[in-house]
Structure 1
């Protein structure tokens, strides 16, 4: 074996990773500047640049290896030794788990790997094997003997956003009052009480978030402090203690944070103690390392397969015309495959569907679109595939299937969090829950519109209900940018021929939308239909949609807060 070629391959992959992580950190470091300058378009474009970075760098690395080591990169033995040498190179790195994932990505693009081969890939290493590093530099600490006023003042003083405050003293007193009302009415501070706040600020869209925890009552009480930068200055918007709201801030329906991270595993460990409902792979996603989040998800999935024995089945809900969807009942994920043929009236191609998913991956999901991971060559044990599912796969996605020995290999698949389809949820829930669900359904459509997304097919079967009873859109094959649509009032008929015409008598162009027609298909449940029509009456008014379009076209970035307006310290008009 050519030792120099092995060193060259491992060294160049490491150089590629160093370029990636250096650029990743550089792009992340711009977030405070965009927040300071209220440059929301710049923030959004910078976020998209960072999302594209990983794939571009992996591809550049693959091409470099192909040019210089074309014969060697086709050898399994070569990659086995390259992995060992690469492992030695990154031994002292504090982000080595992310560096391992980068190596895996280059391997997948350079060599025909069969499944997750532990001889040439880092399959089981990951988060739990990372070195433990001192945490003093990770967060600020505030001892209880300082008193509440001094602690809050110190927290505010430790974070300088580079712009004047709207009213700093008012912010401090808002925070003091919230802590007294929510925490100190339930727990008594002692000499052991301490507060810790991460030094890194979490930026996303128009907000900056401080993440902290207070050890009181023999347990950690997490909290999040959102800051906004309005025309009159920066201000504290609220103080969040509710674990459900905190979990939603880190939801798979949200874009990733821009946050400076020196040691990813250390940051994830802290967040895991604060956002306790989230899995490790979700937290890596949240801080921007979504490719390593995908790796951690796959490791969790492999472990689950070993510990379970149920079979993969067709997912519940109305079968789609574009995607075949299946799930493992004991695992909270669905697997989505693009069908070989689409039933009329669908006319798109498989590549166009993939492009829609890429569009969602790069867009602000505003808490209303589910994140996905894309896999190629996904291996499943053949004996875990139910007979019904195998028949469905053969009938709809046969070109994506390959069977080798005792495994089913799926050439291309998306994974996504499993939700209860809204149509099924409405069939079985109480009247109160149904009212909340249809309100959420309309809110989801409106928030997507304000983020310049038009769902296209807005039937309730294309929306799901999360464990927190939020409604989320998950069918992306017909989404379009809102600004590309033409919202119209329906022309009123003036003749008998027009009144009784079997088909529309007026011209309809491909991107024409008639919101007045939405009522015909939106809600089928009779006891909540009128409530929905009344609560979301503006959805059926074309002028409402045109107004949102005009605001977006004028350059406005319409911010959707990831927490209720009712918990904000100030009304909107004061900021």
Structure 2
């Protein structure tokens, strides 16, 4: 139970220090993500890969800094648990108008689990369940960029609309042949729509930020016609002469599921309200868990948090038992699963056969290597 009175002055200061740590993390996260556009325009592919790898480390660095700060200022690990209960309530109050409350809750968990004893890992002290809703969050400032833009093409001017969609991202490098690209996009759209009649609400909704990964920039959106919605993605690449081309048009949930696969590197996409971006993506890929969508846009720590919540919820409603996973046993990892849950869990063994000359640290470093580099559809991500 929570105490009825928030009477320890340290609690509010700790909550503010925690939120300050998260705000610093998200500001640095956005800064390096926003620079992906300039790196793409400059064809700085090594810089793009380096930034993708370094960004993965940002979160743990900021958590470590915040833990050190709380220990130095408040002797945090020695505080009574009643104070930590108050800290959580103050923190919830600070998140009322926050634009990234779900990520801030996860940051709170990450810091507190490094400080508190494991016996306190429950909802009185941590955000095992979310406390602040992320439904319908938008930045209401007049100059703020909306999560997505809607375009309403006039009959016979669909190609012009797609050209406007592409040019609105203001990429500072010329397109080789924009008229040709628009014609190819038109052919693909008309083939997909067939002879379908345009309904009154016919529109094209496009996320306001480009999705950058490796050498590509992707426009992600959907065509809305009546009650039918067609997800699409437009990959933009550099041609042999260094000019831009729309390389293809991907249609439908299956194509986007491949694009956002957990066997691919994380996207760099600048967004102020991640929950709104994920909500839009979920409309395009309803079979994709929210945890994987947060992972795909580089917010893998919150993805891990959502995965853990999904697992706890599943365990409360399943009656099967964990088992050693079927298949050939590994030499360095013990792999087990739950038959009703589509994931495997791995434990590093304490002892390895002589032919495996390795250590726990080396094994962990290999998994980190996979996370930091492009998995090109061949290696699954890990949490």
Q: TM-score per shorter chain, which class?
A: over 0.9
For residues 219 and 134 of structure 1, what CA distance do their matches in structure 2 show? Answer: 25
Quickly say closer, same or farther: Cα 1:149–1:82, change in 2 above 3 A. same
Bigger radius of gyration = 1
Deviation at 1:264, TM superposition (A): 1.1
Deviation at 1:143, TM superposition (A): 1.6
For residues 323 and 79 of structure 1, what CA distance do their matches in structure 2 show? Answer: 37
The equivalent residue for 2:3 is none
The equivalent residue for 1:130 is 134
8 Å CA contact 2:99–2:273 kept in 1: the answer is yes
The equivalent residue for 1:547 is none
- 1:286-310 CA distance string (max 9 Å, x none): 1111100111111111111112111
Deviation at 1:72, TM superposition (A): 5.7
- 1:445-466 CA distance string (max 9 Å, x none): xxxxxxxxxxxxxxxxxxxxxx
Quickly say closer, same or farther: Cα 1:143–1:209, change in 2 above 3 A. same
Q: Which of 75, 85, 93 lines up with 1:80 in the alignment? A: 85
Give 1:157-172 correspondences, 5 Å limit.
157-172=167-182
The equivalent residue for 2:219 is 210
The equivalent residue for 1:491 is none
Give 1:441-456 correspondences, 5 Å limit.
none
Give 1:53-68 correspondences, 5 Å limit.
53-68=58-73
- 1:305-334 CA distance string (max 9 Å, x none): 112111111101011110001101111010
Deviation at 1:73, TM superposition (A): 4.4
8 Å CA contact 1:73–1:111 kept in 2: the answer is no
Q: Which of 362, 366, 370 lines up with 1:360 in the alignment? A: 370
8 Å CA contact 1:144–1:189 kept in 2: the answer is no
Q: State yes or no: 1:372 paired with 2:376.
A: no
Give 1:301-340 correspondences, 5 Å limit.
301-340=311-350
Quickly say closer, same or farther: Cα 1:78–1:115, change in 2 above 3 A. closer
8 Å CA contact 1:6–1:78 kept in 2: the answer is yes
For residues 42 and 271 of structure 1, what CA distance do their matches in structure 2 show? Answer: 27
Structure 2 counterpart SS, 1:332: strand
The equivalent residue for 2:159 is 149
Deviation at 1:216, TM superposition (A): 2.1
Q: State yes or no: 1:258 paired with 2:268.
A: yes
Bigger relative contact order (CA 8 A; separation at least 6): 2
8 Å CA contact 2:200–2:226 kept in 1: the answer is no
The equivalent residue for 2:246 is 236
For residues 43 and 342 of structure 1, what CA distance do their matches in structure 2 show? Answer: 37
Comparing 83-92 and 315-324, the one that deviates more: 83-92
Deviation at 1:245, TM superposition (A): 2.2
Q: Which of 222, 225, 229 lines up with 2:234 in the alignment? A: 225
8 Å CA contact 2:221–2:232 kept in 1: the answer is yes
- 1:359-387 CA distance string (max 9 Å, x none): 212122111111111xxxxxxxxxxxxxx
Unaligned runs of 5+ in 1: 374-575
Q: State yes or no: 1:26 paired with 2:31.
A: yes
Deviation at 1:84, TM superposition (A): 0.8
Deviation at 1:69, TM superposition (A): 1.6
For residues 326 and 338 of structure 2, what CA distance do their matches in structure 1 show? Answer: 11
